[in-house]
Amino acid sequence: MSFQNIQAQFQAEFENIQKNLNGKRGSDFNTIRTKSFAQFQQLGIPTVKHEDWKYSNLKNLDKIQFSFNPKSSFSKSNLEVLPFASLAGISICFVNGVFNEQLSQLGNTPKIKVLTLEAAVEQIPDVIEKHYGKYIETDKEGLSALNNALSNSGSVVVIDENYVLESPIIIRYISDVKTADIAVNIHNLIVVGKHSEAKIVEIFQTEGEKTAFSNLVTEIFVDKEAIAHYYKIQDENDQSYHVGTTQVNQEDKSYFYSATITLNGGFVRNNLNLVLNGQYIDNHMYGLYIPNGKQHVDNHTLVDHKLPNCESNELYKGVLMDSSNGVFNGKIFVREDAQKTNAYQNCRNVITSDSATMNSKPQLEIWADDVKCSHGTTTGKLNDEAIFYMQSRGIPKPEAVRLQLLAFAEDVVSQIKIEELREMLDTMIENKLK
Amino acid sequence: MLKISNLQARVESKEILRGINLEIKPGEIHAIMGPNGSGKSTLASVLAGREDYEVTAGTVEFNGKDLLDLAPEERAAEGIFLAFQYPVEIPGVTTINFLKTAINQIRKYHEKEPLDAAQFLKLMKEKAKSVKIDDQLLRRSLNEGFSGGEKKRNEIFQMAMLEPSLGILDETDSGLDIDALKIVAEGVNQLRSAERSFIVVTHYQRLLDYIVPDFVHVLYKGRIVKSGTKELALELEEKGYDWIKSEADALEASMV
């Protein structure tokens, strides 16, 4: 399998960026870029021969001619009619990978920084130096290397020490594909300081019916005793390709709490990687995907327990309709030193059509001997007896099915700590399951 | 109210009902008894519209309508209620939410306005009290983690809420201890009225001590082979089913 066409496009874009560096070619930043591009050239775009990409085939990407970060006239009035537009909070918005100030409400204070990458390099170089690009692994995953090489935008969010930020920070990504097929590479950094708490919401949406290829990396550093809530909400069109890696580094006694909700998207691949770099760390990962039509949703998660006394807890749920595909791969590593680890994983799926498929694979690798770990995965149809039971009480079959699917999804949605977001999601899920 | 004529049904290629005839008038309680595998539960299921069974012959008329022509939810809306032998657990759907949806769907069928939250809660409180079911239980996921007795009591509570004209109890006594059985029977007795009829399917006579039937029918090999009054149930309790089986088998042999 070859990706000659698309690789050539990335090569040209890389050269284009290099040409316009304006004397910054020798910067540390650019050294990393150049190295990452070499890694990408070596690793390439993953094919189905790659074990981690066995069920997710990117081959159709090669047929598309992309524009990189093209200009867009997407405006406030366009945003206002999109779902989640009214969600209250500090927000930073990117349209086709480009920061859009009009659509953002940054609200910076001494305790909170919400900046573009360019501004962060100027204003908080020490934070960038310490954290940016330090957690993502570019030597294994070709698309992460590509992201590192090509990303020239992104957000940097820093919550200072000992601070509880109650209102959410919303990072909104709009792909305006009304006229052109676009490719964006965005790289974000989120730092939640010692003993602080923050809620981060990433929202992905498209405007128009052409193809967007979004290749994203979000690095999250959760410092000692900090609490980070992280919600990734995807509502993109059926032509879109989304490959996103969220790389989380947790320190002692920190808490990371995530929900990844895929409402819509043509091809979605979410990597959620957690490295537990301390003791007494806790994390909960929830996921919900409800693909229909020919949508393809792939969630890969990895939890790396390096030290003792940590707990990880994972529940992913899927409702697969029509001819959609779902993939779940959950890796848990428990290293030799990570005694007294508790690690739980569960993936449950309901298939509502004979042509939908689900591939689910738990992968536990345990080197320590005093641990509690469990995993389970189920895929099946709704219980006919339960549907008949509801019908026998006067509830028509379609309504009986819908009620049960909503109850199934609610297990995940109810974990979200932002009430307004929960209500918006409930409405959207209800509409989609109609 | 209900008129079953020559009803025959099978599951896959196995004939289970082989010509049932039964007429039930308003306010009557009919007990259906019989040995295991005689078709008692099948009859209950066919009346409620379970898809697993194929009706191959016969008719069922319910309040002037062709019952077999209706979907299960339409039968419920027309006034049929099946209390399940094994009530289903439905995670994430509370009994309250479930019943509110059910009642309002039935109201919609009859072109009535839906009940609002206050009206519904008032009705619920009243009925919960009458069948002695704990409010807290109703706030939990439907039947999930309920004891056998709680599940059966919840069935009776649902019946009280939906106010059917024909209640069908499918082995409601199975798995109940005597105290739970009394509570369930008391709930049913409260629902008795001159308009409401019941079919009580049971293997044992004991339930009929508490829910006293007007008629008792014995089902064997898919047919009603004997009908009588409540004394027949007592006779079965004493003598078992073997004498009925021999009588029926002898009759069948003589007809061949």
Q: CATH number for the domain including B184?
A: 3.40.50.300
**Residue among B72, B88, B162 minimizing CB distance to A385:** B88
- How far apart, in whole angstroms, are the C-alpha atoms of residue A339 and residue A308? 5
Q: Which of residues 160-199 of B touch A (CB under 8 A)?
A: 162
What is the pTM assigned to this prediction?
0.90
Residue that is last in its domain, among A223, A249, A277: A277
Nearest C-alpha in A relative to B92: A407
Min Cα–Cα distance to chain B from A393, Å = 6
Interface residue A414 vs chain B (CB under 8 A): no
Nearest CA distance, A394 vs chain B (angstrom): 4
How far apart are the C-alpha atoms of B109 and B123, rounded to whole Å? 19
Within 8 A of A408 by CB-CB distance, chain B residues are 91-92
In a domain, A210, yes or no: yes
Q: What is the C-alpha to C-alpha distance for residues A168 and A192, in angstroms, rounded to an integer?
A: 13
Helix (H) or strand (E) holding B40: helix B40-48
CB burial class (10 A; 0-12, 13-18, 19+) of residue B42?
buried
Min Cα distance A397 → chain B (Å) is: 8
A269 assigned to some structural domain: yes
Q: Is A408 on the interface with B (CB under 8 A)?
A: yes
In which residue are the tokens 């009591």 written? Answer: B153
* Whether the predicted pLDDT of A266 surpasses 90: yes
B203 or A95, greater pLDDT: A95
In A, which residues are within 8 Å of B161 by CB distance?
Answer: none
B108 contact A CB<8A: no
- B251 lies in a domain? no
Compute the distance between CA of residue B132 and CA of residue A400 in angstroms, rounded to an integer: 28
In this complex, is the C-beta atom of A399 within 8 Å of any C-beta atom belonging to chain B? yes
Residue segments in chain B with a per-residue pLDDT below the cut of 50: none
DSSP line for B81-140 = EEE-SSPPPEEEEEHHHHHHHHHHHHHHHTT-PPP-HHHHHHHHHHHHHHTT--HHHHTS
B73, B90, B141 member nearest A396 (Cβ) = B73
> A23 pLDDT band (50/70/90 cuts)?
low
pLDDT of residue A28: 78
Q: Which residues of B touch A394 (CB under 8 A)?
A: 73, 76-77, 102-103, 105-106, 109, 162
Q: Which residues of B touch A391 (CB under 8 A)?
A: 49, 71-73, 76
CA distance A391 to chain B (A): 5
Residue A227 and residue A108 share a domain: yes
- For B:35-54, CB contacts with A below 8 A are 48-51
Contacts of B106 in chain A (CB under 8 A): 394
Instruction: Provide the domain limits for residue B73.
Output: 2-227
pLDDT tens digits along A364-403: 999 999 999 999 999 999 999 999 999 999 999 999 999 9
Q: Do A392 and B73 touch (CB under 8 A)?
A: yes
Query: How close, in Å, is residue B71 to chain A by CA atoms?
Result: 8
Establish if B248 belongs to a structural domain. no
Q: Do A388 and B72 touch (CB under 8 A)?
A: yes
Compute the CA torsion angle A28, A33, A34, A39 (nearest 10 deg).
130
User: What pLDDT score was predicted for residue B225?
Assistant: 93
Q: Which of A384, A388, A429 to mutate to test the interface with B (most CBs of B within 10 A)?
A: A388
| Domain assignment of residue A355, yes or no | no
Minimal-distance CA residue of chain B relative to A397: B73
> How many beta-carbon pairs below 8 A join chains A and B?
76
Q: With contact defined as beta carbons under 8 Å apart, do A55 and A325 qualify?
A: yes
Total of domains in chain A? 2
Q: How far is B94 from chain A (nearest CA, A)?
A: 9
- Whether residue A257 is found in the same domain as residue A108: yes
A389, A394, A408 ranked by CB distance to B77: nearest: A394
pLDDT for A202 equals 98
Of A385, A396, A407, the CB nearest to B93: A407
Residue B160 maps to a domain:
yes
Domain count, chain B: 1
Q: Do B101 and A403 touch (CB under 8 A)?
A: yes
Helix (H) or strand (E) holding A205: strand A197-207
- The predicted-structure confidence for A187-201, as pLDDT tens digits, reads as follows 999 999 999 999 999
Boundary of a domain, candidates A247, A277, A307? A277
Owning domain of residue A61: 4-277
Tell me what pLDDT residue A87 has.
96
Yes or no, beta carbons of A391 and B92 under 8 Å apart: no
CB nearest B50 (choices: A386, A388, A396): A388
User: Which residues numbered 378-397 in A keep a CB inside 8 Å of some CB on B?
Assistant: 383-386, 388-397
The answer to whether residue A127 is domain-embedded is yes
- Measure in Å the smallest separation between the Cα of A403 and chain B Cα atoms: 8
Looking at the domain assignment, is residue A107 inside a domain? yes
Q: How close does chain A come to B92, measured CA to CA in Å?
A: 5
Task: Report the alpha-carbon distance of residue B131 to residue B113 in Å, rounded.
Answer: 26
Tokens of A239: 């032509």
Inside any domain, residue B197? yes
pLDDT at residue A22 is higher than 80:
no
Would residue B52 count as lying in a domain?
yes
Contact B71 A397 (CB under 8 A): yes
Task: State the smallest CA–CA distance between residue B169 and chain A in angstroms.
Answer: 13
Q: B102-132 burial, b for 16+ CB within 10 Å, e for fewer?
A: bbbbbeeeeeeeebeeeebeebbeebbeebe
Q: In terms of Cα–Cα distance, which of A170, A186, A235 is closest to A68?
A: A186
A13 inside domain:
yes
- CB-based contact (8 Å) between A410 and chain B? yes
* Cβ atoms of A122 and A144 closer than 8 Å: no
* pLDDT on residue B253: 85
Judged against a pLDDT cut of 90, whether residue A70 lies above it is answered with no
A256, A277, A298: which is the final residue of a domain?
A: A277
- Structure tokens given for A124: 């908080």
Confirm whether A31 is domain-assigned: yes
Is B165:B76 a contact under the CB 8 Å cutoff?
no
Q: Is residue A283 part of a domain?
A: no
The SS3 call for residue A289 is strand
Confidence of residue A1 (pLDDT cuts 50, 70, 90): low
